[in-house]
Amino acid sequence: MSTVIKVNSNGSLRIEGDFEIVDPQGNKFNLNGRTSIALCRCGLSKNMPFCDAAHRGVFEHESVAFELPPPAPKP
């Protein structure tokens, strides 16, 4: 199964599929078998890095796909 990350307008990053989430030291979060979760983008969640919907009515960002420029060459 592939991983899909959906950027929700005015909300979270929804991750679905086969994935793991680790902290800066590489320790895995125990997702208890979940195959989809939502990550906070607004910084207001009391359950960081996971979304708890604290963004409602506060965070605004319309998500529209676009093409990134080519990566910079490596030195």
How far from 13 is each of 2, 8, 10, CA to CA, in Å? Answer: 16, 6, 10
- Is 41:12 a contact under the CB 8 Å cutoff? yes
- Look at residue 26 in the predicted model and tell me its pLDDT: 97
Model's pTM, two decimal places?
0.86
Q: What is the pLDDT of residues 28-39, one digit of tens each?
A: 999 999 999 999
In this prediction, the residues of the chain whose per-residue pLDDT falls under 70 are: 1
- Look at residue 75 in the predicted model and tell me its pLDDT: 87
Q: Which of 58, 60, 71 is nearest to 9 (CA)?
A: 60
- Is 65:11 a contact under the CB 8 Å cutoff? no
Q: Taking phi first (over 0 means left), then psi (-120 to 50 degrees means alpha), and beta for anything else, what does residue 17 get? A: left
Tokens of residue 27, six digits: 């320790």
